[in-house]
Each structure stands twice: as C-alpha cells, then as structure tokens.
Amino acid sequence: MTDVDIWNNIKDIRKDLPKKVKLVAAAKTRSLEEVKAAIGAGIDIIGENYIQEAEEIFPSIGNKVRWHFIGHLQTNKVKKAVQIFDVIETVDSLPLAKEIDKRCSALDKVMDVFIEINSGKESQKFGVLPEDVLELVKQIAILEHVTVRGIMTMGPYFGNPEDARPYFKETKMVFDQIQDAGIKGIDLKCLSMGMTNSYKVAIEEGANMVRIGTKIFGERE
C-alpha cells in the first residue's frame, strides 16, 4: 500500500471519529515505511503488539509519537517495554503491574497503564474478568511508578460488529464503576475499545480511544 493510500485511509477514518476520540494506529507486522507514512498523515499514537517489532522501528522514530503496547506482555519482557512505551494497555494482573513498577522505578519513570478486561470471558484470551477489575485497580493504585489511566478490551471477534455491542457496553459500565469509586492514585480517563470492524459501535458505547490497523494499512500479507 502506498503512502497516499495510507494518508487517504486515515483521512476517511478521522471523518468517523468525534474530536474526543483518539486514534491508535495498530502497527503489528507493519514496516517502518508504513508507520512513517501514518505519522506523516497525522497519527500521533502508535500501537505495537510485540516488543521486538517496536525495538526495530523505535530508533528511527523515537518520541515523535506516543507508543502504546497493545499486545500481551510477558513479565520477562517488561524491562525492555518500559524503555520504549509511554502506555501499556494490557495490564491484567498484580504481578505484572508490580514488575512494571519495579522496572520503572529504576528509570525514575511513571508508566501509564490500562487494565485489560476479558469482556467476553473467553478462556483463550488474556485480561481480567469484569467482576475482578475494581479490586485489581485498588491494588495497583498504591504502586508509585504506575498510574492507571484507562480500561481496554479486545472483546470477542464477530463478523457483525453489532454482536460486539453488549461487550463494549459492559466494559463501559466497569469503566464508570471505577470512576465512581473515587480510588486515590489513579487518573482514569481512557476507554480503549474497538478495532477496524467494530470501532463505530465501540464509539457509540463510549470508547474515547480506538485501535485501528487494517483500515489504515490494508490487509496483512
């Protein structure tokens, strides 16, 4: 896909997005040239699923954009992750949060994190069950080098995006519950949900951040 195609795709997507909704360009498997084209078209948040891919392109881009980690993060990869990323969207356990806190302490850095919710309660997916999120947030809130800034869900994948609506709706309910709980030490602002086939429905259900890859870059080869 050419730079012009990427620019046009981003322009079309932005027509669908209310001003309050932030766009994360999901760059899984994408080349440096493709990512640079997206940045040239105004993208200011790059989402990466894999540490190794981020390491390969980060030196050529640096802090021109904010970097979000949107894949499953293994504890043994945290040391590298905190050196690159501004936000980790996929925190789903206290041990992982503690490891992030420890590694950020060594860098004198505070990491913004989102709690990943397994809204579909799918056994093969990562994330915290909706009923367990509030307690996890309370536990993470006391960590000095981690700040809970958001909630994220993948949701089950459906061909018809309308089928994802109940899961986005439930995630928004959890988001509101945590906001209403008045937990000290957090600053919950972001609700990250919705991808290429479902972002319009996600926005209708309250998402203020969407993660889009295919609709920007085209199908993966």
In tens, the pLDDT along 109-126 reads: 999 999 999 999 988 899
Residue 209 burial (CB count, 10 A): 27
In tens, the pLDDT along 178-221 reads: 999 999 999 999 999 999 999 999 999 999 999 999 999 999 76
- Letter for the amino acid at 200? K
- Residue 69, domain extent: 3-217
In tens, the pLDDT along 63-113 reads: 999 999 999 999 999 999 999 999 999 999 999 999 999 999 999 999 999
How many structural domains does the chain have? 1
Host H or E run for residue 80? helix 78-84
| CATH code where residue 134 lies | 3.20.20.10
Alpha-carbon gap, residue 195 to 122, rounded angstroms: 18
